[in-house]
Amino acid sequence: MTTMEMPGQGHNPQGGARPALPMDRADAVLVLEDGFALSGKAFGASGRTLGEVVFSTGMTGYQESLTDPSYHRQILVMTAPHIGNTGMNTTDPESNQIWVAGYVVRDPARRASNWRAESDLEEELVRHGIVGISDVDTRALTLHIRQAGALRGGIFSGDALPVGAENLEPHAVAALRSIIQDSPRMAGAALSAEVSTKTPYVIAPTGEFPGGSPRAVLAALDLGVKSRTPEILASLGVEVHVFPADSTLIDLQSINPDGVFFSNGPGDPSAATHEIELLREVLDAGLPYFGICFGNQLLGRALGYGTYKLVYGHRGVNQPVLDRRTGKVEITAHNHGFAVDMPLGEASVTPFCNGKYGRAEVTHIGLNDNVVEGLRCLDIPAFSVQYHPEAAAGPHDASHLFNDFLQMMLQHRCEKPTGKADA
């Protein structure tokens, strides 16, 4: 794979000169599996990339989205027309790499113009080998996805662009479409192991709580965790032990945890057989549980409810969610293509093993389409939300959930003085 040169000069807040984006870009095309195609210009690395094409309605936070492991194997379309103005830095990433399979923008900024910028967006896309496309009608693309649903697609540029494709000639588009149709689907994909940490690590309490005994000890299963999540918990005085996705209950219990957390992540929850079985073992052990996004879907399936693929998913930092317990509407950050299928009315007996886990209720509902955005068990200490209360970037309306989980762990420890749940 080759990358393009970026001539020109721009301001570098760290000192020296920085290349501006090129005026003359190479040709690129975006093709969806149903034959929808757009011609544009190469942005980032040149070559070929395939993935599920999804869109984000966020007006900000592109760096956080790019580095969110939940976007693994997805081509991300930004609905905001102008992208790249704030550049990239080493403070805001949610992981140590860019995870999107490809990137689609309408109007890339010519250069970063922000005092926190340490590099340009395109520089980082090239460095991480991310194939992108610019100068396309992202509004038309988004409207098509909203009507047709999330589709597999591909971006092609450089040596991967066949003759005639730049003009969307039918034979060339058909050839690219055939490549896309042979690519794997997101439905049925088990991806946690591909994005999870390979070795455990610990994040010590911070803020007001460094150096002393932690308020609680947490076992966090990394299914594609965003760095912001353990940081928030650590700021509350929680010692967070992050474990790989293939960990066992023995691994989690080795630290004598006060609770267990399952993170966000990519893939189809119905394919996460190991994670679901592990979560049932966690519930059987009586350990308090909190899940976010993928962790919410897994709780639903562990309880015996189903999950289903959304037509085009929820992605952005501006999604209204009703907290049914308080009656308040919270503006929340989302990134999910699957949802839990459970009754929206009164509490129901959980289907797994004839109600083994007691009753559960839907606590949060997405106001745009009535999708389940949170659930809580009524007879065991477990709850989860579909959206992202850590909200980086985005609103902090739901950040109280982390303290809610801390209080659940502290209460459970008081009820079990040894700090260890019954096995």
> What are 298-310's pLDDT values in tens digits?
999 999 999 999 9
Give pLDDT, residue 24.
Answer: 78
More confident site: 59 or 258: 258
Residue identified by tokens 């999910």 is 336
Give residue 230's identity as a one-letter amino acid code.
P
Q: Are strands 328-341 and 17-18 parallel, antiparallel or unpaired?
A: unpaired
Q: Are residues 225 and 158 in the same domain?
A: no
Give pLDDT, residue 20.
Answer: 59
CATH code of the domain covering residue 134: 3.50.30.20
Q: Are residues 60 and 100 in the same domain?
A: yes
Question: What is the tens place of the pLDDT at every residue in 70-94?
Answer: 999 999 999 999 999 999 999 889 9
% the chain with pLDDT above 70 = 93
Q: Are residues 114 and 231 in the same domain?
A: no
Token duo for residue 10: 């721009």
More confident site: 390 or 46: 46
Tell me: pLDDT of 53 over 80: yes
Q: Give the model's confidence band at 55: pLDDT under 50 very low, under 70 low, under 90 confident, else very high.
A: very high
Question: What is the tens place of the pLDDT at every residue in 329-338?
Answer: 999 888 999 9
Give pLDDT, residue 212.
Answer: 79
Q: Are residues 137 and 282 in the same domain?
A: no
Q: For 31-69, give one letter per residue: b (16+ CB within 10 A) or e.
A: bbbeebbbbbbbbbbbbbbbbbbbbbebeebbbbbbbbb
Of 119, 152, 181, which residue constitutes the final position of a domain?
Answer: 181
CATH code of the domain covering residue 240: 3.40.50.880
Give pLDDT, residue 8.
Answer: 30
Query: Is residue 155 situated within a structural domain?
Result: yes
Query: Is residue 1 situated within a structural domain?
Result: no
Question: What is the tens place of the pLDDT at every residue in 352-364?
Answer: 999 999 999 999 9
Catalytic residue among 94, 122, 275, 293: 293
Lowest mean pLDDT of 123-127, 287-291, 412-416, name the range: 412-416
Of 154, 181, 208, which residue constitutes the final position of a domain?
Answer: 181
Q: Is residue 377 flagged as an active site residue?
A: no
Q: What's the burial of 288, exposed, middle or buried (CB within 10 Å: 0-12/13-18/19+)?
A: buried
Average pLDDT value for residue range 224-234: 95
Q: Give the model's confidence band at 418: pLDDT under 50 very low, under 70 low, under 90 confident, else very high.
A: low
Tell me: pLDDT of 419 over 60: no
- Please give the model's pTM, rounded to 2 decimal places: 0.91
Query: Is residue 421 situated within a structural domain?
Result: no
Of 143, 160, 181, which residue constitutes the final position of a domain?
Answer: 181
Average pLDDT value for residue range 170-184: 97
Token duo for residue 94: 């949610």
The H or E element containing residue 106 is none
Catalytic residue among 33, 64, 94, 390: 390
Give pLDDT, residue 17.
Answer: 41
Q: Are residues 256 and 320 in the same domain?
A: yes
Tell me: pLDDT of 59 over 80: no
Q: Are residues 109 and 228 in the same domain?
A: no
Give pLDDT, residue 230.
Answer: 95
Question: What is the tens place of the pLDDT at every residue in 380-389?
Answer: 999 999 999 9
The domain total for the chain is 2
Q: Is residue 390 flagged as an active site residue?
A: yes
Question: What is the tens place of the pLDDT at every residue in 198-222?
Answer: 999 999 999 888 887 899 999 999 9
Token duo for residue 270: 């119905």
Average per-residue pLDDT for the chain: 91
Domain that holds residue 199: 192-415
Average pLDDT value for residue range 156-165: 96
Rounded Cα–Cα distance for residues 263 and 245 (Å) = 10
Q: Alpha carbon of 241 to those of 220, 259, 359, 416: distances in Å?
A: 6, 11, 30, 21
Rounded Cα–Cα distance for residues 348 and 358 (Å) = 8
Rounded Cα–Cα distance for residues 259 and 248 (Å) = 15
Residue 251 neighbours by CB under 8 Å, 6+ apart: 200, 243
Nearest to 38 by CA among 13, 6, 75: 75
Question: What is the tens place of the pLDDT at every residue in 88-135?
Answer: 999 889 999 999 999 999 999 988 988 999 999 999 999 999 999 999
Catalytic residue among 72, 334, 364, 388: 388
Q: Is residue 388 flagged as an active site residue?
A: yes
Q: Are residues 205 and 122 in the same domain?
A: no
Query: Is residue 3 situated within a structural domain?
Result: no
C-alpha radius of gyration, the chain, whole number:
22
Q: Give the model's confidence band at 395: pLDDT under 50 very low, under 70 low, under 90 confident, else very high.
A: confident
Tell me: pLDDT of 157 over 90: yes
For CA atoms 174, 51, 314, 279, give the dihedral sign: positive
% the chain with pLDDT above 90 = 81
Q: Are residues 140 and 78 in the same domain?
A: yes
